[in-house]
Amino acid sequence: MSQIICDRVSLGYDGNLILRDLSFRLEAGEYCCIIGENGSGKSTLMRTLLGLKSPSSGTVTFGDGLKPSQIGYLPQQTAVQRDFPASVFEIVLSGCQGRQGLRPFYSKADKALALENIEKMGITPLVKRCYRELSGGQQQRVLLARALCATGKMLLLDEPVSGLDPKVTAEMYELIDTIHKRDGITIVMISHDIEAAVRYADHILHIGGDLFFGTTEEYLAKQAAIGAKPGGTESC
Partner 1 sequence: MLEKLGLYFSFPFVRYALIVGVLIALCSSLFGVTLVLKRFSFIGDGLSHVAFGAMAIAAVINLTNEMPLVLAVTVVCAVLLLRTGQNTKIKGDAAVAMISVGALAIGYLLMNLFAKSSNLSGDVCSTLFGSTSILTLTKTEVWLCGALSVVVAIFFLFFYHKIFSVTFDEDFARATGTKAQVYNLLIAVIIAVIIVLAMNLVGSLLISALVIFPALSAMRVFKSFRSVTVCSAIVSVVCALIGILLSILYGTPVGSTIVAVDITAFILFTLCGWLLRRRLA
| Residue ranges that bind partner 1, judged by CB under 8 A | 47, 50-52, 67-73, 75, 78, 80-81, 84-87, 90-91, 93-95, 97-100, 104-106, 128-130, 133, 146-147, 150-151
| Residue 145 or 204 with smaller CB distance to partner 1 | 145
Cβ(93)–Cβ(179) under 8 Å?
no
Smallest separation, CB 166 to partner 1 (Å): 27
Centroid of chain to Cα 77: 13
- For partner 1, the closer of residues 89 and 219 by Cβ is 89
Rounded-to-integer distance, Cα 97 and Cα 106, Å = 8
What's the half-sphere exposure (Cβ side, CA atoms, 13 Å) at 190?
A: 24
Select 25 or 99, whichever has its Cβ closest to partner 1: 99
Nearest to partner 1 of 56, 81 (CB atom):
81
CB of 52 to partner 1, least distance (A): 6
Smallest gap, in angstroms, from Cβ of residue 93 to partner 1? 8
What is the longest distance spanned by two Cα atoms in the chain?
A: 58
Please state the closest distance from residue 142 (CB atom) to partner 1, in A. Answer: 11
- Rounded to whole angstroms, the Cα distance separating 97 from 110 reads 9
Q: Of 8 and 84, which has the nearer Cβ to partner 1?
A: 84
Residue pair 168/137 in contact (Cβ under 8 Å)? The answer is yes
Q: How far is the CB of 79 from partner 1 (least distance, A)?
A: 8
| HEC readout, 119-131 | HHCCCHHHCCCEH
